[in-house]
Amino acid sequence: AAAAALGLLPLGKTQSPESLLDIAARKVAEKWPFQRVEERFERIPEPVQRRIVYWSFPRSEREICMYSSFNTGSEDPAAGPGGAA
């Protein structure tokens, strides 16, 4: 109620704390590529794998645009300037 009064949360909405699994998976995804995690650890429970993969993808629209327009260096002559073939 106090947070809603301060304008931090919409009225009638409560925010639940982030799970320890999500916090840990996000920290792992920030530091290491998922492939390295798979190579390093023999058995990773499936729910943990899913959360690491989830947090491995970019969150902001700017990052999504940057990764979606990533050029691997190989040029495709059939592709136009907009990336459409």
Q: Residue 43 in contact with residue 17, Cβ under 8 Å?
A: no
> Angle at Cα 57 formed by Cα 29 and Cα 8, nearest 5°?
90
> What pLDDT digit, counting tens, does each position of 24-81 carry?
999 999 999 888 998 998 899 999 999 999 998 877 888 778 777 766 555 555 554 5
pLDDT at residue 25 in the model: 95
Count of all residues that appear for the chain in the document:
85
Domain segments of the chain: what residues?
Answer: 20-69
Return the HEC string of 34-66: HHHHHHHCCCCCHHHHHHHHHHHCCCCHHHHHH
pLDDT at residue 85 in the model: 45
> In whole angstroms, what is the distance from residue 24 CA to residue 49 CA?
11
